[in-house]
Homo-oligomer: A and B are copies of this chain.
Amino acid sequence: MATLGFIEYKDASAEVRAVYDDIMATRKTDWINNFWKALAHDPATLRRTWASIKKIMAPGALDATTKEMVYLAISATNQCGYCIASHTAAARKAGMTDEMFAELMAVVGMANETNRLASGYQVEIDEKFLIR
């Protein structure tokens, strides 16, 4: 399940419940996914991580769909199985279609390829790209 197990709502402290309530209200759902139930063993990390996610993933200069797709792209790059599964679901909920998913993955694959070609060929950064 998870290293320290899961903390279900009914067994949670008031502090943890407050975070769970905010997650459900923000996401307009009636359940909590395993990630948060595992993290709940460390209420300080639970609260801090959720507060950060809530703030960072809210629409701003980038819309919510773009942000979720970036999250998924990184999770695929890092080979995190849980994160790929949960953020695929989140990105879909935020509006990612099958076509958008397919294009996203094509970019993910290509970026991971050329990242290694650039380093493997020891390509020096162009003068024009340098920041001074």
Contacts and interface: CB of A to CB of B under 8 A. Distances in A.
Interface of A: 1-5, 31, 33-35, 38-39, 41-42, 44-45, 48-49, 52-53, 55-57, 60-62, 66-67, 69-89, 97-126, 128-132
Contacts of A83: 111, 114-115, 118
Contacts of A131: 1-3, 5, 85, 122
Contact of A89 (B57, B69, B129): B129
Contacts of A78: 77, 79, 111-112, 115
Contacts of A81: 119, 122, 125
A70 B71 contact: no
Given A76-B116, A125-B34, A104 B4 contact: no
